[in-house]
Amino acid sequence: MTPEVIFVSLALLNRLRLTTTNCLPSAIAMTAELLVTCRRIQAFLLLDEVDKEKATENQLAQSEKFKVKAEHVTAKWSQTKSTVLNNVSFSLKRGELLAVIGPVGSGKVSLKHCCKNYISTHFTF
């Protein structure tokens, strides 16, 4: 072995080490996210279809009247923190679009997290 071959080999191994240590954790994290996503899609696709003819009139009226309805939502990030949302109400019918706008810190993301049950809330949803 010549010094040239050893130097090239070490440079290549060093480059592989850097790539492996940087990319392998990201690949593992992305694989975990992929598995969770596949399970969610599979669970959704395996849901039974709702036959409108067999559904009761009350179920149809409820499902067609509002897709999302929230009344008097009050939320905080933790029990010790102050309230981030106070007495917020809205309703969306099927096919409607809601735009939530406001300055930084006004509670737009907090409202989104309430809809996903990420933060503790006191509400009627």
Q: Is the pLDDT of residue 119 over 60?
A: yes
pTM of the full predicted structure? 0.40
Using pLDDT thresholds of 50, 70 and 90, give the confidence band for residue 125.
very low
- The pLDDT-based confidence of 34 (bands split at 50, 70, 90) is very high
Mean pLDDT of 91-100: 79
Residue indicated by tokens 């939530």? 100
Mean pLDDT of 52-77: 67
Instruction: Measure Cα distances from 82 to 36, 42, 78, 79, 125 in Å.
Output: 33, 39, 8, 8, 21
